[in-house]
Amino acid sequence: MATVVVMPQLGNSVESCLIVSWLVAVGDAVAENAIVCEVETDKASMEVPSTAAGTVLALLWDEGDDVPVKEPLLVVGAAGEDPKAALAEIGWSGAGDDGSARSTEEPAAVDDEPSAPAADDAPRTAATGASSPRARALAQANSLDIASVSEGSGPGGRVIERDVRAALSNSTAAAARAGAHGSDAAGTGIGGRITTGDLAAPTEPAAEATPATAAASGREYPGPSTATPLKGVRKVIAERMMHSLASSAQLTYTTTARAAGLLALRAKLKGSPEELGLNGVTIGDLVGFAAIKTAAKHTNHNAHLADGTLTTFENVHLGMAVDTPRGLLVPTVRNANQMSLREFSATSKELAFAAIDGRIDPDLLAGATFTVSNLGGFGIESFTPLLNVPQVAILGVDAIFPRAVIHDDGTVGAEQRIGFSLTADHRVIDGADAARFLQDLVKYVENIDITVLG
């Protein structure tokens, strides 16, 4: 009998996954554990394996659909087998009004071609709550009333992310049209507002363009280009960064610290006995350890701000920005303030490698209370890190670089210094608070040999 493959639970905190792309089609033969599709959560992009071997009999969702975990995803069985029996056995016939599976005695027919679940419901609007979590988040980040999206393109008319993007695009076009017609331009909506119908209305013919001087070289303009739609983790990153800026009051403060102690301790640890497990400790580990100590002291920086409530944490769960082949991921070192330097160094490296290899547990990509982003290895001397909301602070670690210094005796010399860029949410962290955080961080860094003993 055919087997129904369901959307796996990719982490305890994951409720649904968006299908980025199907890697199989109806009629394809698949082996057990073969990858059938790529999906994304609000944190990462992953691959879904088949739990059975056989021929793909039906794909139950389209690319772009937001599928609840443990819901039927596709049907695999013997070539030519009818998938309806397997679906009937589990009582599944498509997506319900809330986007979840609904049970009926008569399962919907499944075509031989890839299709979304049968949409036998009447068209629904966002006002009924038939919208995906990603659609609602995008609408909220752009101050769009999701109820204004009259009909979605998801299963059964569910409003999904691409419908919100289309609505936002129409709003932008309407604003552009209004600007082109001048401030007195009126639409057909209430109070003369520009509506989407007005966008299709013919406009006055544009004035005849003045002939432009031909390029002397005759080179093609604009020349070769490549258009690549955002998808997967890159798409998630884009949305999260826009949401971060739109939902918080971010301000960045910069300072530097003498790096001689860091460099000396790093050299000493590198040459330490291997059995101590400290010769792999990096400058980044030392700075991260100092940042943990600072965040534990300044709990207003080790906090979340959500729905008007500030939650401060006693333990520091450190987020680490990691550059991966799929884009930026932020694994969390849980209870980092309770770790020794050796344990912190080993744990952070293990998480970073797991993120780079694409095998990290999605639950470890959430829950951070304070984040560190280190671009010092790229030679960056200063940058503005963006908050990982609902966190209220993030520390950017800059490069170590030589700077001129005037000694107490009046002579001029040079010293190695490391830069820091602290971005804080000004709604809850004042400038003086941020300055005090950086003062303590500088103290811990410049005395790092003592800091690691604590």
Q: Tell me, what amino acid is at 24? A: V
CA 372-377-381 angle, to 5 degrees, is 80
Instruction: From residue 4, give the alpha-carbon distance in Å to each of 1, 35, 86, 262, 328.
Output: 10, 15, 7, 56, 34
CB-side exposure of 241: number of CA atoms within 13 Å? Answer: 12
Token duo for residue 340? 């020794």
| Contacts of 133 by beta carbon, 8 Å cutoff, 6+ apart | 15, 16, 42, 66
Burial class (CB in 10 A: 0-12, 13-18, 19+), 307: exposed
The C-alpha atoms of residue 118 and residue 106 are separated, in whole angstroms, by 12
Provide the token pair at 277.
Answer: 């497990």
Query: For this structure, is 304 an active site residue?
Result: no
Name which of 422, 419, 387 is nearest 295 in CA terms: 422
430 is known as an active-site residue: yes
Residue 401 in tokens: 């670089």
Strands 54-59 and 72-77: antiparallel
Nearest to 383 by CA among 365, 400, 399: 399
Please name every residue paired with 393 in a beta bridge, in sequence order, or none if there are none.
424
Which amino acid does the sequence have at 329? L
What are the helix (H) ranges across 142-231? 161-181, 196-199
Structure tokens at 208: 């005849």
DSSP helix/strand/coil, 395: strand
Q: Which of 430, 433, 440, 449 is catalytic?
A: 430
Active-site pick, 97, 426, 433, 440: 426
The H-or-E segment that residue 433 falls in is helix 431-446
State the catalytic residues: 426, 430
